[in-house]
A = this chain, B = another copy of it.
Amino acid sequence: MNNGLSGPYDIEGADSLHEECGVFGIFGHHGAGALTILGLHALQHRGQEAAGVVSYDQGQFIAERHPGLVGDIFGKNSGYAANLKGDYAIGHNRYSTAGGSAVRNIQPLFADLTGGGITIAHNGNLTNAYALRSKLVQEGAIFQSTSDTEVIIHLTARSSKTQVVDKLIDALKQVEGAYSLVALTSKKMIGVRDPFGVRPLVIGKLDGAPILASETCALDIIGAEYVRDVEPGEVVVFTKGEMESYHPFQKVKPRFCVFEYIYFARPDSMMEGQNVYQVRKNIGEELAREAPAEADLVIPVPDSGVPAALGFSQASGIPFELGIIRNHYVGRTFIEPTDGIRHLGVRRKHNPNRATLNGKRVVLIDDSIVRGTTSKKIVQMVRDAGAAEVHFRVASPPTKHSCFYGVDTPNEHALLAHEMNLEEMAKFIGVDSLAFISTDGLYRAVGEERRNPAAPQFCDACFSGDYPIRIVDADAKESQLSFLVEA
């Protein structure tokens, strides 16, 4: 689990969903490079594999793009932070699957255009990137990465428009998918959200300098002021002293990703006017009403289950306790148990507090169930610690479908809820009772009366299978993107 409460790496946790990116930009403030680094640090939960910052100073763009955590990359001894001179900078945190982890994919990407450079950082996923890429390659474009963001760069470079903002809009009109992006030229910072506004992007301000960030927590870390969210389909362009706003795309009804509330975002962030922590507590309260349990304790799976568990506890009156202790010191490539000791049931990340659990009837709260394997292990661990009963409550509806809009999900056949009904799932993970929040309950927690099936207020495709944006590349495999292999 990777929200604001969580630790560096979830190495036992291939069984969770992963956001693919966080973006940040600041335009016209002393120390822009360092501020961007701090912004990325606050957004670390959105991507832990690599981070990059590109700043602009005196006619040159300066890039530092490296694998690892922000705090490790930009440590005092690296000198990278000091290299990032200038008052303009944008940055990017990257999560990626193993195959696409090459250094050449670390954003922000950069291109020299005639008359100047442009650098782009992107959160989301294009659903027609493969088709566009194939066409571009046929026309002689040379791709350096396998990132879909590079498609946007090439389309921008090839646009027949004369102004860079027009070139970028021209490019974006050709792409489909979910994207929140931040771009920087020597004269402008640009922010864009796709027409459906699937991924978040907010505008902030520090000492008068505009900021773009995936979440408000990246404003808080540097003491910046929140201004407003970028609107779905909006292009905001900052030049010295002013902001222009465009809506160049065809208007559609927004569909913000509801999973941002459930799991991805940091609890202290505000999204579309809602406090994430409060939404999660609301979910817990809804769950307590929808699926009560006779129990002695409410126990969260730390850290992401904590707010919902507090909500459940407050609504049900059953005491909230830390029955599972999480070890946050887990290194990136920590040793795997060898065959000889695997049978021991090594517990590197979570340990049950036997003194709390022993003999107790427990309500266990987690944010979601993906493959189910982790849930099964945690339930077993809680039972081994002496719990008399385990009632599992899940702070999201059953995850039945893959995401194509920027979240790394397994194939739907690997999703427990796609393959089993509730009873089968309860048996599989070994609980006395199992309940998920209802879709309408979830919508209530986010402030809607209920889900509007005719025009859903959110993207909930992972639960409903109702995909707002068509998936052109559905059959394309990433392995076909390049013939080159390089670390």
Interface residues of A (CB under 8 A from B): 4-8, 30-31, 34-35, 37-38, 41-42, 44-45, 48, 59-65, 69-77, 81, 83, 110-114, 116-117, 134, 137-144, 153-154, 157-159, 186, 206, 217, 220-224, 266-268, 270, 275, 277-278, 302, 306-307, 310, 314, 319-322, 325-338, 340-341, 344-348, 351-356, 482-487
Contacts and interface: CB of A to CB of B under 8 A. Distances in A.
Given A30-B341, A61-B484, A486-B63, A113 B141 contact: no
Contacts of A266: 325
A7 B7 contact: yes
Contacts of A319: 314
A5 B326 contact: yes
A484 B69 contact: no
A105 to B, nearest CB: 13
Contact of A322 (B73, B217, B307, B346): B307
Contacts of A113: 137
A253 to B, nearest CB: 27
Given A74-B335, A275-B355, A322 B340 contact: no
27 contacts: A4-B327, A5-B302, A5-B322, A8-B329, A34-B338, A35-B341, A38-B337, A41-B327, A41-B334, A63-B484, A71-B332, A74-B335, A76-B333, A112-B482, A114-B138, A117-B484, A140-B157, A142-B157, A144-B144, A220-B352, A221-B348, A268-B353, A277-B325, A277-B353, A277-B355, A278-B355, A310-B321
Contacts of A277: 322, 325, 353, 355-356
B331 A75 contact: yes
B310 A352 contact: no
B483 A335 contact: no
A310 to B, nearest CB: 7
Given A76-B335, A353-B275, A44 B327 contact: yes
Given A268-B353, A319-B314, A485-B61, A72 B331 contact: yes
Contacts of A30: 340-341
A438 to B, nearest CB: 25
Contacts of A137: 112-114, 157
Nearest to A339: B31
Contacts of A321: 310
Contact of A335 (B45, B81, B327, B352): B81
Contacts of A69: 329, 331
Given A7-B7, A223-B344, A353-B277, A143 B34 contact: no
Nearest to A221: B347
A34 to B, nearest CB: 6
B62 A328 contact: no
A224 B275 CA distance: 42
A256 to B, nearest CB: 18
A328 B157 contact: no
A117 B76 CA distance: 33
Contacts of A31: 338, 340-341
Given A45-B329, A140-B141, A206-B344, 7 more contacts: A5-B322, A5-B325, A35-B341, A71-B334, A112-B137, A112-B483, A328-B328
A278 B321 CA distance: 10
A330 B75 CA distance: 10
Question: Which of A5, A30, A112, A278 has its CB near the most chain B CB atoms (within 10 A)?
Answer: A112
A7 B310 contact: no
A328 B34 contact: no
Contact of A41 (B142, B154, B348, B356): B348
Contacts of A275: 353, 355-356
Given A134-B114, A327-B4, A347-B220, A65 B486 contact: yes
A486 B76 contact: no
A482 to B, nearest CB: 5
A114 B74 CA distance: 38
B76 A336 contact: yes
Contacts of A34: 335, 337-338, 341
A356 B275 CA distance: 9
